[in-house]
């Protein structure tokens, strides 16, 4: 397994080197400490090797396994921005401290987005998703909470809301929602609200799948507190994908 390491410190040079990942459990911290003496101020990975940082995914934990980058994120480019103030300093003795990134692995994941004012049923679902995450201690850092935090909670809420009227029909087809989310249903009562019969369409399902896939790429999911959520998120992603691939969903089906 190989990755291309790109030094982004000097945009005019962008020096590259092809490096072999020597061990299955090798972390990014170990990997980079074998390549350079300098500390790094920023690290990100990408699929295309483009210089723009927002085209890639930030790596905020030096203990992230290299196999996760290549196998899960499908990224073969590792971008590093050296700390120019420390390039001539003595290397740190500990491998995982060989670089400094914007947020360290010891951050506290104890912040949560604010609850919504419950104007409608979807707001109640959003707040209940928050309560679930709070109870499970699926929190965020102060830096993440307004960006990653809101995106994670909103994406999960949107997906659960979309499939909410269809639980009975999905169950009749052997499609079970992950246990962790099993109580988060019964919010979208379209009959009592005198709304049109909800319809699942392949177009909307594809949109939810794409967004869930993007969010699952967040390094936040690799935190040691998140394996159950990561597994359940992947399961609900697979369930929605199963619905999309079903024969009835080539056009649409109703509740």
Q: At residue 231, does pLDDT exceed 60? A: yes
Among 29, 62, 97, identify where a domain stops: 97
CB of 79 closer than 8 Å to CB of 43: yes
DSSP 3-state assignment of 82? strand
Alpha-carbon distance 21 to 114, whole Å?
41
* Global pTM exceeds 0.75: no
Residues 81 and 197 in one domain: no
Q: With contact defined as beta carbons under 8 Å apart, do 150 and 133 qualify?
A: no
Radius of gyration for the chain, computed over Cα atoms and rounded to the nearest angstrom: 21
| Segment (H or E) for 80 | strand 77-82
- The whole domain housing 50 covers 2-97
List of residues 6+ apart from 32 with CB closer than 8 A: 5, 40, 43, 80, 98, 99
Whether 29 maps to a domain, the answer reads: yes
Together in a domain, 70 and 160: no
Which of residues 31, 62, 97 is at a domain's end?
97
In a domain, 112, yes or no: no
The predicted model gives 235-253 an average pLDDT of 68
102, part of any domain: no
- 56 and 138 together in one domain: no
Give yes or no: residues 246 and 125 share one domain.
Answer: yes
- The answer on 130 and 164 residing in a single domain is yes
Q: What's the CA gap between 187 and 225, in Å, rounded? A: 28
pLDDT tens per residue across span 168-213: 888 888 888 889 999 999 998 877 766 778 888 888 888 888 898 8
Per residue in 149-169, pLDDT (tens digit) is 999 999 999 999 999 988 888
Is residue 109 domain-resident? no
Q: Are residues 227 and 146 in the same domain?
A: yes
Considering the domain architecture, whether residues 141 and 234 belong to the same structural domain is answered as yes
Contact 254, 198 (CB under 8 A): yes
Total number of domains in the chain = 2
Task: Judge if 88 and 137 occupy the same domain.
Answer: no
* Within-domain flag for 173: yes
């Amino acid at each position: 397994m190989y990755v291309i390491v790109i030094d982004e410190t000097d945009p005019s040079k962008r020096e590259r080197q092809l490096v072999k990942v020597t061990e299955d459990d090798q972390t990014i911290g170990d990997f980079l400490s074998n390549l350079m003496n300098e500390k790094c101020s920023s690290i990100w990975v990408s699929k295309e090797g483009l210089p723009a940082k927002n085209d890639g995914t930030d790596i905020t934990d030096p203990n992230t396994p290299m196999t996760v980058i290549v196998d899960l994120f499908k990224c073969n480019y590792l971008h590093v921005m050296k700390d120019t103030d420390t390039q001539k300093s003595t290397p740190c003795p500990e491998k995982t401290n060989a670089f400094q990134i914007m947020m360290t692995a010891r951050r506290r994941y104890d912040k949560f987005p604010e609850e919504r004012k419950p104007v409608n049923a979807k707001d109640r679902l959003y707040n209940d998703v928050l309560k679930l995450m709070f109870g499970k201690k699926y929190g965020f850092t102060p830096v993440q909470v307004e960006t990653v935090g809101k995106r994670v909670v909103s994406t999960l809420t949107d997906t659960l809301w979309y499939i909410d009227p269809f639980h009975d029909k999905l169950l009749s087809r052997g499609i079970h929602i992950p246990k962790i989310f099993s109580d988060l249903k019964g919010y979208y009562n379209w009959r009592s609200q005198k709304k049109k019969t909800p319809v699942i369409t392949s177009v909307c399902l594809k949109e939810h799948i794409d967004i869930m896939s993007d969010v699952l790429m967040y390094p936040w999911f690799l935190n040691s507190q998140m394996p159950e959520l990561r597994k359940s998120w992947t399961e609900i992603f697979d369930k929605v994908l199963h619905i999309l691939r079903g024969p009835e969903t080539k056009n649409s089906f109703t509740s």
